[in-house]
Structure 1
Amino acid sequence: MKHTLNSIIFFLLAQISFGQNSEELNRQSKDLLGQGSYKEALPILKKAAELGNAEAQYNLGYFLQSGAAGEKNEKEAIEWYKKSSNNGFNNGHYAMMMAYGNGEGIEQNSEKAFEYALKCANNDDPTCVWNVVECYVTGKGVQQSIPKFKEWVQRLAKLQNPENLTQSGYITSTRLELAHFYKDGKYFAKDLYQSYLWYLIYNEYKIDFSILKQNEVIKEIKEIEKSLSKQQIDSASKDAEKLFGRKLHNLSQLYTNSL
């Protein structure tokens, strides 16, 4: 019994040490990478990846795919991306989505690309959610489903805008698309009030668009207001915040463009 207990304690301590070693090695490799010391970082990165660190596995895959540290091996890169993804690392999901989607280092497979896009999208990654939306509406890699498309397009529109301009653009574009969908009765039942609410939400980050596009949308907003009652316009800001799930801060700039 004592021997068994000692074995269990040793196993637990070994597991703790194992985790600390992989995390510490990963940290060291990132420090070196931040300094631009790629060749010095690579063996440390490999060790962290071999010990099971998901971030290190992704980073190693990236270096093998790009050849940034002098070694280039796309097939091996995919294996590390896959391990990273299996360990739940979102960038690993993203890398596998892109690999299968573009046929980089692996045979192109739309169904597999969608599977990884969905894993990534479930972590609210804007690019992956955008891809899932596109797949459901077009039927690429998955059976076309307008109900699923509607579910995911609204999820994308309600995400927080990140600093990444491309991802923020996906989100703001989707909000404007929802305003158009409700206005035109496309995919959703025609509802000018719901359309107006999405215009108000779009307005929060309209800076993602050019001045010309912003001015065009301001005209759309003024036009749709002609079809709404004063009571609807007065209650729209609160209803938009309820729909959005958070407060709107840019309503005073509704009729002006953001420079």
Structure 2
Amino acid sequence: MKKSYIIGGTILLVLIGGFVFHRYVYSKIEYKKGLSYYKNKNYQKALPLFKDAANQGYAPAEVKLGVLYLYGEGTLKNYDKAIYWFKKAADQGDADGGFDLSVIYVNGLGVPRNYRKALYWVKKFAERGNAYGEFGLGWMYLFGKGVPKDYDEALYWVKKSAEQGNARGENLLGYMYENGFGVSQDYNKALYWYKKSAEQGYAPAKANLERLESEH
């Protein structure tokens, strides 16, 4: 009898594992279909596919669904739903969800502006080596948002982000070199980092690069 219980339990675990794996694969397929539509700016077709995958707990789809609600793409703008989906993703350890949630709190989109909550999310993922989290934490130290202004800390985190190839981090590091925040003012290094960021298509870096080149 005991042996039959063990066999039955093993079969049940295998069945559960198979179901979870199947659900994951299905969600990933739906997400990729949605992503294809999203990249072509066909947000209305992307929306139900992201919803389907997000409802299965697939974090990347939760983030993209939050983005659609945040900007009102393919649906009505809804900050509450954006926050809901970003938080679900962030709670699963998804760094993009955490960063997007911090943007919500920094800008007060649908909620009162709250730098402490923004700090919580960027710090959580920065300490795990995520480039967006590092950029966000560096930005907060640079401008004294939610933390005392600290150029040394800002430089530490922004540089880590930039060295991972994060376009926002590269642009912000260029800004720090241009203005001498935490470093000796160095226009050549500023141009270097602006250019690296601009080459990734980051519009603010392109503008900074053109401006600095025209001035120097």
Match for residue 173 of structure 1?
175
Q: Percent identity?
A: 22
Other structure's SS at 2:145 match: coil
From 24, 33, 38, the equivalent of 1:33 is 38
CA positional deviation for 1:203: 5.7
Q: Any gaps of 5 or more consecutive residues in structure 1?
A: 184-194, 218-259
Judged with a 3 Å threshold, the aligned counterparts in structure 2 of structure 1 residues 43 and 177 are, in CA distance, closer, same or farther, namely same
Give the conservation status (yes or no) of the 8 Å contact 1:23–1:48: yes
Match for residue 98 of structure 1?
103
Q: Distance in 2 between matches of 1:212 and 1:145?
A: 27
Which structure has the larger Rg? 1
CA positional deviation for 1:6: 0.7
Match for residue 43 of structure 1?
48
Q: Any gaps of 5 or more consecutive residues in structure 2?
A: 1-5, 196-204
Match for residue 163 of structure 2?
159
Letter in 1 for 2:16: F
Match for residue 254 of structure 1?
none
1:10-25 correspondence to structure 2 within 5 Å: 10-25=15-30
Judged with a 3 Å threshold, the aligned counterparts in structure 2 of structure 1 residues 4 and 114 are, in CA distance, closer, same or farther, namely same
Match for residue 81 of structure 2?
76
Give the conservation status (yes or no) of the 8 Å contact 2:158–2:172: no
Judged with a 3 Å threshold, the aligned counterparts in structure 2 of structure 1 residues 172 and 160 are, in CA distance, closer, same or farther, namely farther
Could you tell me the TM-score, scaled by structure 1's length?
0.63
Give the conservation status (yes or no) of the 8 Å contact 1:206–1:214: no
1:82-121 correspondence to structure 2 within 5 Å: 82-121=87-126
Aligned-residue CA RMSD (Å): 3.1
Q: Distance in 2 between matches of 1:19 and 1:200?
A: 48
Q: Distance in 2 between matches of 1:147 and 1:210?
A: 24
Q: Distance in 2 between matches of 1:160 and 1:64?
A: 29
Give the conservation status (yes or no) of the 8 Å contact 2:101–2:121: yes
Q: Distance in 2 between matches of 1:143 and 1:120?
A: 20
Other structure's SS at 2:22 match: helix
Q: Distance in 1 between matches of 2:69 and 2:193?
A: 37
Give the conservation status (yes or no) of the 8 Å contact 2:155–2:173: no
Match for residue 7 of structure 1?
12
Letter in 1 for 2:171: G
1:215-254 correspondence to structure 2 within 5 Å: none
Letter in 1 for 2:131: D
